[in-house]
Amino acid sequence: MRHALSTRLWHWINALAVVVLFMSGLTISNAHRRLYWGHSGFSPEEAWLHVMRFPGWATLPMFRYDLAEARDWHNTAAWLFALGLLAYWIVILVNGHFRRDVAAGPRAYAPGAIWGTIRGYLTGENRRTEKVDYNPLQRIAYAFVLGVFLPGMVLTGLAMSPGIEPAAPWLVEFFGGRQSARSIHFLFAFALLGFLVVHVAMVFVAGPVKTLGGMIVARPGKENAHG
Amino acid sequence: MAEIGRRHLLAGLAALGAGACSRIGESESATSIFDSAESWHREAQRALAGRQRLAPEFEPSDISLTFRGNGSLTVDTADYRAELSKGFPNWRLTVTGLVDKPLSLSLEALRALPQRKQITRHDCVEGWSAIGEWTGVPLSSLLDAALVRPEANFIVFRCADTLYGRRYYESVDMIDAYHPQTIVAHQLNGENLPEKNGAPLRMRIERQLGYKHAKYLTGIEAVASLDNVGEGKGGFWEDVADYQWYAGI
C-alpha cells in the first residue's frame, strides 16, 4: 500500500511525538502512582488503581527521575501531537482519505466481515492477496485510534490543566472531573500502546520492507487508490 | 533515493530513543524550545481564559475528608512553634516593594478586612487533587490598599519555611495577582489553617498548580523584574529543579 504525502508526513511526526509523550508520561505517572475517579483524590483508600513504578529504561528522561524535565518534554511534544492531529484530520476530511479508506461503516462491524478478516490472517490469505483496501478490522482500528484515542489524549490532557479549566469547565465535567480525566488519559495511553504493538507486529507480518517503504517514499509507478 | 530517505529516518528515530533524549533535554537549545513551548501554553491559556474567568468552585459535599500537606509541613524554628501554640499573635504580613504605602498587618487586621470564601480544587504537580474551602482576603484589596506602583510587573510571596536549607518563595504576574480568586487564606474548611497546610497564612492561586500556592506567608513584595529575586527564576522549585514558572498546565 502506498500513502499520500500528508499521511506519510503526519505518520512519522506523530510517531515521534507519541514516543516522547508516552515515555515522559511514564515519568509523570511515577510522580504519583495512584489513579482516582471524580474530581479529587490523593489517598490510597480513594484510588481505584495502584500503578507500578515504571523502570528507568522506559521513562524520559531515562534512568533518572526528573519530573520538571519530563513535564517539559511532555508539554512540548503535546503541541506537535495536537496540532499535527488537527491538521491531519482536516486533510483527510478534505481529500476524502477518511471517508474512502478509514471510515468504518456498519458493514465493517458485521460478524461475517470481521470473521472473514480474522480467518484471512490465520490462514495467511491476507498476505497472499495484493491489497487494495483496508480490511474491516483495520478500518475499525484506525477509525478508533484517529477518532477516539488520539483526540481523547489531547482532550483529557487539556482537562487536567488548571489554566484551561476556567475557559472550558464543560470539558472537565464531560470526563467526570479532573481525576477521571487523568485516569482516562492513562488508560487511553495504554490502549494506544496496545495498538502500537499490534501495528508494528503487523508491519513485520506483512513484510517490513514493503510496508515501511510505502510509509516513507512515494514509489514511482502507477498510482493506486491510496496514492 | 528511497534507501537514503529511509536510512535518514531510521537514524533519526534511533537518535530519538535511548540516552539521546536525556542529553538533548539538558542542552541549551532544548531548554529554549521547552521554554517556548511552555510560554505558548501560557499565551494560549491566557487568551482562552482571559483575566477574570474563574476556576470551578465546588459544593461542600465535594470537600476532601483531609487536605493533604505537601512540601514543607512546618516551619522548623522555636519562634514558629511558640507562635503556633499561641495562635500567631505576633505574626505580621508585610506588603512592600514598589508600593507607595507599605503595610504590616496582623492576623486580626487581616480578619477584619472583607473576605472571600471559595471551595476549590488544589492540583499538585505530582498529579493528585484535593478540594477544600478557603477563606481569606483577596490579594487585590491588599495591593490596592498599599498603592502598588504602575511599574510593578510581578508579586513575590515571601515565606517562613525552608526546604533543602533555602527559604521558600513564589511569584505571579499581575494578571494572577489581581484575579478574584487569588486570596491570602487564613482558614481551611472553616478552621484556622492547619500547620501542614501553611499556618497561619498561605496563598491561593487557583488557576495554577500547587507549588505556586506559597505557605507560611510573611511578605508580599511588588517588583518590576524577577531577575534579582532568589536565583531569578521566580520561585523555589523553579530555582531548585527547573519547574516552569507558569504552572497552568
B108 touches chain A (CB under 8 A): no
CB within 8 Å: B209 and A12: no
pLDDT tens readout for residues A123-171: 887 777 666 688 889 999 999 999 999 999 999 999 999 999 999 999 9
Residues 120-159 of A with CB under 8 A from B: none
* Percent of chain A predicted with pLDDT > 70: 94
* Local structure of B119: helix, strand or coil: strand
Higher local confidence (pLDDT), A46 or A124: A46
CB B193 within 8 A of CB B249: no
Higher local confidence (pLDDT), B197 or A2: B197
In this predicted structure, the answer to whether residue A46 has a pLDDT above a threshold of 50 is yes
- What single-letter DSSP state applies at residue A21? H
Query: Please, what are the domains in chain B?
Result: 3-241 (3.90.420.10)
The pLDDT profile of chain B, 249 residues, written as one tens digit per residue, is 344 444 454 444 444 444 555 567 778 888 899 999 999 999 999 999 989 999 999 999 999 999 999 999 999 999 999 999 999 999 999 999 999 999 999 999 999 999 999 999 999 999 999 999 999 999 999 999 999 999 999 999 999 999 999 999 999 999 999 999 999 999 999 999 999 999 999 999 999 999 999 999 999 999 999 999 999 999 999 999 999 999 999
C-alpha dist (Å) from residue A188 to A28, A61, B127:
15, 22, 17
pLDDT at B20: 56
Interface size A-B, in CB pairs within 8 Å, comes to: 156
| The residue type at A161 | S
pLDDT at A211: 87
CB B184 within 8 A of CB B136: yes
Query: Hey, which residues does B103 pair with through a beta bridge?
Result: B95
CB B106 within 8 A of CB B91: yes
B111 touches chain A (CB under 8 A): no
pLDDT at A132: 63
Write phi, then psi, for B208 (nearest 5 degrees): -135, 170
CB within 8 Å: B126 and A31: yes
Which of B64, B66, B127 is opposite residue A182, by nearest beta carbon? B127
In this predicted structure, the answer to whether residue A222 has a pLDDT above a threshold of 50 is no
In this predicted structure, the answer to whether residue A40 has a pLDDT above a threshold of 60 is yes
Average pLDDT, chain A: 91
Q: For chain B, first and last CA: distance in Å?
A: 43
Cell numbers that stand for B189 in this block? 474548611
Q: Is the peptide bond before B200 cis (omega within 30 degrees of 0)?
A: yes
A20 chain-B contacts, CB cut-off 8 A? 16, 21
Can you say how many angstroms the Cα of residue B55 is from the centroid of all Cα atoms in its chain? Answer: 15
User: How many angstroms separate the CA of residue A108 from the nearest CA in chain B?
Assistant: 33
Can you say how many angstroms the Cα of residue B100 is from the centroid of all Cα atoms in its chain? Answer: 25
This complex has an ipTM of 0.90
What DSSP letter does each residue of A142-186 carry, written as one string?
HHHIIIIIHHHHHHHHHHT-TTTTTT-HHHHHHTTSHHHHHHHHH
Which of A41, A163, A178 is opposite residue B248, by nearest beta carbon? A163
Cell numbers that stand for A21 in this block? 509523550
B43 touches chain A (CB under 8 A): no
In this predicted structure, the answer to whether residue A88 has a pLDDT above a threshold of 80 is yes
